[in-house]
Structure 1
């Protein structure tokens, strides 16, 4: 009787807890205004959810935020890691080619 009761309680607990882990809030589907550390307003597009997410500019260039609060253009290194460039988002010409942003 005690084992049966323990199993029922465990199953009820898991039934309540597991769905909470599976729900992830998706990113806002439109562009969002954010501010660089110098006060300049820029537009970013968010993708993903709370478990995996990234941001791009209006042209699809990958951007990430550094510890200084600024967003920077990013690229992938040879081993697949994201590396941030020294170019802050909004500082480059919009008609650039992707190869020029490393």
Structure 2
């Protein structure tokens, strides 16, 4: 192949590389986005807000994840960790009025 033949194929080669780079960038962005989304689905309690009731007791409300488990983020000795809280049952069979 002579020099003019290579120069004719150069735009096609560059286009192929640019399309490949665009696909790789798109896949990287989708992976980044969905990994955060999946983590929020697994652990909806990443930022827990507690409250002190009038009688002085502390209360923390947690949301169930999609599997019905209670997962929360906390810290032990300033080291962040993830907790799986065992409530004894996936669903609660005690009426709310009786539980209070």
After TM superposition, the score normalised by the length of structure 1 is: 0.38
Say which one has the larger Rg: 2
Q: Which one has the bigger helix percentage?
A: 2
After TM superposition, the score normalised by the length of structure 2 is: 0.38
